[in-house]
A = this chain, B = another copy of it.
Amino acid sequence: MNKDNISKSVIRRLPRYYRFLTELEENGTERVSSGKLAEIMRSTASQVRQDLNCFGGFGHQGYGYSVTYLKGEIAKILGLDKNFKAVLVGAGHIGTAIAAHMKFENLGFRLVGIFDNNQSIFGSKINELEIRDVSELQSFCADNNIDAAFLCIPKDEAPEIVGSLYSSGVRCFWNFTHYYIQGDYPDATVENVHLSDILMTLCYSMNEAVEKNEQS
């Protein structure tokens, strides 16, 4: 059933399909064609059909795709029902924002622990969840079968933290640091978010746009 070797580009589009299908469903739309979906996705009908066919024939010729069915299939493909158990390490600004703001239960995860090394915030809560001493991290993860960790810590602290997470069985990392996890743990599943890199690319584009304007 599950085809291998789906390209990263296709995977990256799946959440957007899911998002737009959710909107269509909320509108009460029952069916959608690849053309219409492409319009919403700012894509092409061809790409939509190619993408969806990586996983199986979800459509009906002459009819299109059932919004609810397709949405459900994509949820299954993404694994949004898996509720992987996750901990957050680092309850600074970014960590707190992540913990307080994201609707993990819709995104395939369940946040069950928050850890920090700042004594003064131990015991205070983010969304009902107490902040714990990072020294308990390893035993907590081992005891609770933690699947994933969200890393919102300084880069220099990352190697040690990842080491202890890995040794207690955690293999999945949402990494906001610049530490290169996959270098040290090639079998880890990692998604990096480098906000400063993204901001620099925005700076480049802005700079380009300004120069183009000056020329004309």
Task: Give the chain B neighbours of A202 by CB distance below 8 A.
Answer: 108, 148, 172, 174, 189, 191
Given contacts A97-B94, A209-B172, whether A201 and B11 have CB atoms under 8 Å apart is: yes
Instruction: Let me know if A93 and B100 touch, CB within 8 A.
Output: yes
* A: number of interface residues (CB 8 Å): 58
Q: How far is the CA of A183 from the CA of B189 in the complex (A)?
A: 34
Task: Give the chain B neighbours of A203 by CB distance below 8 A.
Answer: 78-80, 82, 84, 107-109
Q: How many copies does the complex hold?
A: 2
Most chain B CB within 10 A, of A15, A78, A178, A203, is at A203
Main secondary structure of the interface of A (DSSP, over half): helix
Task: Give the chain B neighbours of A94 by CB distance below 8 A.
Answer: 97, 101
Chain A residues 157 to 205 lying within 8 A of chain B, measured CB to CB, are 171-172, 174, 178, 180, 183, 189, 191, 193-205
Given contacts A96-B97, A197-B16, whether A206 and B178 have CB atoms under 8 Å apart is: no
User: Nearest chain-B residue to A101 (Cβ)?
Assistant: B93
Task: Give the chain B neighbours of A147 by CB distance below 8 A.
Answer: 206
Given contacts A189-B209, A201-B12, whether A93 and B103 have CB atoms under 8 Å apart is: no
Chain A residues 110 to 146 lying within 8 A of chain B, measured CB to CB, are none
Task: Give the chain B neighbours of A97 by CB distance below 8 A.
Answer: 92-94, 96-97
Q: How far is the CA of A209 from the CA of B200 in the complex (A)?
A: 32
Instruction: Let me know if A200 and B78 touch, CB within 8 A.
Output: yes
The 8 closest A-B pairs by CB, nearest first: A79-B207, A108-B203, A93-B97, A15-B197, A97-B97, A191-B202, A15-B200, A172-B206
Interface residues of A (CB under 8 A from B): 2, 11-12, 14-16, 18-19, 42, 77-80, 82, 84, 92-94, 96-98, 100-104, 106-109, 147-148, 171-172, 174, 178, 180, 183, 189, 191, 193-207, 209-211
Given contacts A18-B200, A171-B206, 7 further A-B contacts (CB under 8 A): A12-B197, A14-B204, A93-B96, A148-B202, A172-B209, A191-B205, A193-B195
